[in-house]
Structure 1
């Protein structure tokens, strides 16, 4: 059965999908290791973790086509990598890894693939591979559902991590303590039930000094109320409330 070469457009879209997926996975792993309270940890971002993330990223990115010559992006776009002299055989893991190393110089790769008649970039020429339309590609619906699902997971993870980071900070805990001890707020909203899933605001700490702002939804048994809190953290000191409005 004769199969056709994959279009340049499909290959570009597949590459972008892979790039964002791998970046998301790597960032997710780093954030999970750091924990949601990393903002207020002494010493900032651990250098060792940054060093360890580099080889993990290399393995993820350069080895992305290791499953039968097909990465997630290529599966979505219905294309696959095959040997130059056999459209039915997947290249070795070594060749699949080697062909992706040249993506480091992606501007040059883009120029090469535009003008190459077989749509080969430098990595393909070195590893002796071609990218074809996958004759055994999955149906369109599962692929569409997968890409939508990936987008939803990405969105939910980022929101959840940001919310968790804001809520675990000492600044937020101080703001909540002030709200719970405020008699006027308690009389207005009644017994406090919750503070909403996602507080808006930000926390910034640099060289031991910090600034934080929160807009917290207070959910009571009688009604809801928004409370705006601003805080500062002097160097080597504790958080202090500078503004408290409702």
Structure 2
């Protein structure tokens, strides 16, 4: 069986890294998105992060445990094998040990590129070798799997992150300010609803925060995209700084 090329190994690593990171971030936002965005007390946020990141790292290091093949390796048509018994994958413990060395990935990358046996340090310590998989799914199905992962990522960004923003205190404050603004009501009539997914960003650090939100306001006589700038200070509450229409017209501004 032929050894895998370095290029295939690097691409497989990048796919695995992307997928597992995507999974960890998805779980964080699905279950703890509101707490993270609202910038709760660090003493509350740290246990939340630990409850997801620790199992996430364990999954990362165990990613090749099924027959020496991770998702990235399956897509790239390669596999990890015991260098002394090429028909067998190394034991779970050796595979786990092998991946622990990815913590020092820059060094691992240099060793992989320069090693004549196409091995990184983790391979050498675990007595493993990465080979081309002679029995693998068709190239088309593997490409479709990769496309599906990328599409899921964009769905996540569009829905999960947007939902977390909608549940944030900053967004709720922005909606309150929009609904109090008489110019908005004059131009589009009674507000009926808002766009499904707001865009923008919310940055919090301890009790301070800044937010820029772009919200589509839907009224009975039309729609109005509104950009809202907010800040959070020692009071712990979000306050409006400025509200603008899409063309830059200021709807409301609070001077400091």
Fold agreement, TM-score > 0.5: yes
Q: In structure 1, what is the equivalent of residue 121 of structure 2?
A: 122
- Greater Cα shift, 69-78 or 113-122: 113-122
Q: Does 1:210 align with 2:220?
A: no
SS in 1 for 2:87: coil
1:224–1:50 distance in 2 versus 1, CA, 3 Å: closer
Q: What number of residue pairs does the alignment pair up? A: 244
CA distance in 2, matches of 1:129, 1:237: 54
- Pick which of 9-18 and 209-218 moved more: 209-218
For the residues of structure 1 that align with 2:174 and 2:110, how far apart are their CA atoms? 55
- 1:245 to 1:114, Cα distance in 2 relative to 1, 3 A: closer
2:104 is matched with 105
| Residue matched to 1:92 | 91
Q: How does 1:140-219 map to 2 (within 5 A)?
A: 140-219=139-218
Measure the CA separation in 2 of the matches of 1:24 and 1:160. 14
1:34 corresponds to: 32
State the distance in 2 between where 1:92 and 1:127 align: 9
Q: SS of 1:198's equivalent?
A: coil
Structure 1 position 145, deviation (Å): 1.0
Structure 2: which 5+ runs fail to align? 246-256
Structure 1 counterpart of 2:12: 14
Residue equivalent to 1:5: 3
CA shift in 2, pair 1:183/1:18, >3 Å: same
Shift of 1:146: 0.9
Matches of 2:209 and 2:112, distance apart in 1: 49
Aligned-pair CA distance for 1:135 = 0.7
Please give the TM-score of this superposition, normalised by the length of structure 1. 0.86
Tell me the secondary structure at the aligned position of residue 225 of structure 2.
Answer: strand
Q: 1:189 to 1:48 in 2, by over 3 A?
A: same
Question: Partners in 1 of 2:101 and 2:8 — Cα distance?
Answer: 19
What's the counterpart of residue 64 of structure 1? 63
1:144-183 CA distances to partner (integer Å, 9 max, x unpaired)?
Answer: 1111111111122123233223222223223223333444
1:238 partnered with 2:254: no
Does the 8 A contact of 1:37 with 1:165 survive in 2?
A: no
Q: CA deviation at 1:52?
A: 4.0
The answer to whether the Cα contact below 8 Å between 1:196 and 1:218 also exists between their aligned partners in 2 is: yes
TM-score by length of 2: 0.83
Question: Partners of 1:21 and 1:245 in 2: how far apart?
Answer: 38
C-alpha displacement of 1:88: 1.9
